Amino acid sequence: GDSVTQMEGPVTLSEEAFLTINCTYTATGYPSLFWYVQYPGEGLQLLLKATKADDKGSNKGFEATYRKETTSFHLEKGSVQVSDSAVYFCALKTDSWGKLQFGAGTQVVVTP
Amino acid sequence: NAGVTQTPKFQVLKTGQSMTLQCAQDMNHNSMYWYRQDPGMGLRLIYYSASEGTTDKGEVPNGYNVSRLNKREFSLRLESAAPSQTSVYFCASSEARSGANVLTFGAGSRLTVL
């Protein structure tokens, strides 16, 4: 079945450091890929998405490129801020009804 | 700007008690979902409703029932709560017919079963 694997956390960084969160997937067909972010005490919100191979999603300084050859969708940000401290979820969608398969989530802690 | 509203935000139950989690969305979305979030396991789909009048099981439906009351509301019921159902529950909605489906989530309901 479909699945998403993302790196375990927590990831602890200093402000202005480079962030990478690895995400790989297994799916039949051609999934759409997503990154969601969950700030403390809140629900998940969409960070970025990509719908086909080689698409790059970007938002708020975060980027991820849909790599079909390596079945990956790694999240990157060049210079993190304390406000980026959150849990990040990689997810995929394969069916027409929009059900998402989520990874386990990666907690990111950014210190001043 | 309400989006997806869930109630209650917190609830403590004893084993065997029943309760209903309520969810309402004001975005005229067709599809609605209930997920549970557990440490190290991400979010797992309990039930979903692709459109008004339909409901289907997700990955972990045992011990739960749902009702799609109308297009706006989708409730989740625990008939006889068990400690294994201690979790944070999220309701979400989407316009599933769009190509890259985007889910809008509620703020969550934290349930503890003693």
Cβ neighbors of A18 (< 8 A, separation 6 or more) are A76, A77, A78, A79, A80
- Min Cα–Cα distance to chain B from A98, Å: 5
Q: What are phi and psi of A84, to 5 degrees?
A: -85, -5
pLDDT for the residue numbered B2: 74
Parts of chain A with a pLDDT under 70: 96-98
pLDDT for the residue numbered B97: 60
- Cβ within 8 Å, pair B94-A98: yes
Confidence of residue B40 (pLDDT cuts 50, 70, 90): confident
Integer Cα distance of A107 and A97 in angstroms:
29
- What percent of chain B has a predicted confidence (pLDDT) above 70? 95
- Cβ within 8 Å, pair B107-A102: no
Cβ neighbors of A84 (< 8 A, separation 6 or more) are A19, A77, A108, A110
pLDDT for the residue numbered A2: 85
pLDDT in tens, A1-25: 889 999 888 999 999 999 999 999 9
Give A-chain residues touching B27 at CB under 8 angstroms: none
Structural tokens at position B49: 């409703």
- Cβ within 8 Å, pair A89-B42: yes
Note whether B29 and B94 are within 8 A (CB). Answer: yes
Cβ neighbors of A69 (< 8 A, separation 6 or more) are none
- Min Cα–Cα distance to chain A from B79, Å: 25
What is the β-pairing status of strands B109-113 and B10-13?
Answer: parallel
Confidence of residue B60 (pLDDT cuts 50, 70, 90): very high
pLDDT for the residue numbered A29: 78
